[in-house]
Amino acid sequence: MEEKKYMNPYLAGVLLGLLLIATIYITGRGLGASGAVKSFTVGIMETVAPEHTNNEIFYKEYSGDHAGSPLMNWLVFEVVGVFIGAFLSGLISNRLNLKLEYGPRSKPNIRIVGALFGGLLFGFGAQLGRGCTSGSALSGMAVLSTGGLITMMAIFGGAYLFAYFFRKFWI
Partner 1 sequence: MGPLVPDVVGNELNFIVALIIGIFFGVILEQAGFSTSKKLVGLFYGYDFTVLRVFFTAGIVAMIGVIALEHFGLLDINLTYINPTFLWSALIGGLIMGLGFVVGGFCPGTSICAAAIGKIDAMIFIVGSFIGVLIFAEGYPLFEGLYKAENWGNIRVFDSLGMQQTVFAFILTAFSLFAFWMVSIIENKVNGIKKPAFRFTPYYVTIGAIGFILSLSAFVLTERKDSLQNLVSDKEFVNNYDLKTMTVDEFAYRIIKGDNKLQIIDFRPLEEYKKQSLPGSTAFTFDNLFEKEPSKILRIRHKTNVFVANNEYEERQFAIIANRLGFSNATILKGGLDSFNKEILEFDISSVATTKQESDTYRFRGKASSIIPVLIKENKSAGPVKKTQKRVVGGC
Specify the long-range contacts of residues 5-12, CB closer than 8 Å, at least 24 apart: none
What does the angle CA 45 – CA 49 – CA 52 come to, to the nearest 5 degrees? 100
70 binds partner 1 (CB under 8 A): no
Under rule CB under 8 A, residue 9 binds partner 1: yes
Q: How far is the CB of 113 from partner 1 (least distance, A)?
A: 9
131 contributes a contact to partner 1 by CB under 8 A: yes
The CB-of-34 to partner 1 minimum distance in angstroms stands at 4
Contact with partner 1 (CB under 8 A) among 47, 63, 69, 83: 83
Rg of the chain over Cα atoms, rounded to whole angstroms, equals 18
Establish if 75 lies at the interface with partner 1 (CB under 8 A): yes
List b or e across 56-81, with b for residues whose CB sees 16 or more CB atoms inside 10 angstroms.
eeebeebeeebeeebeebebbebbee
* Residues of this chain, 10-49, that bind partner 1 according to CB under 8 A: 10, 12-35, 37-38, 40-42, 45
User: Does position 50 bind partner 1 by CB under 8 A?
Assistant: no
* Cα separation, 141 vs 24, whole angstroms: 12
Instruction: Kindly state whether residue 1 participates in binding partner 1, applying the rule CB under 8 A.
Output: no
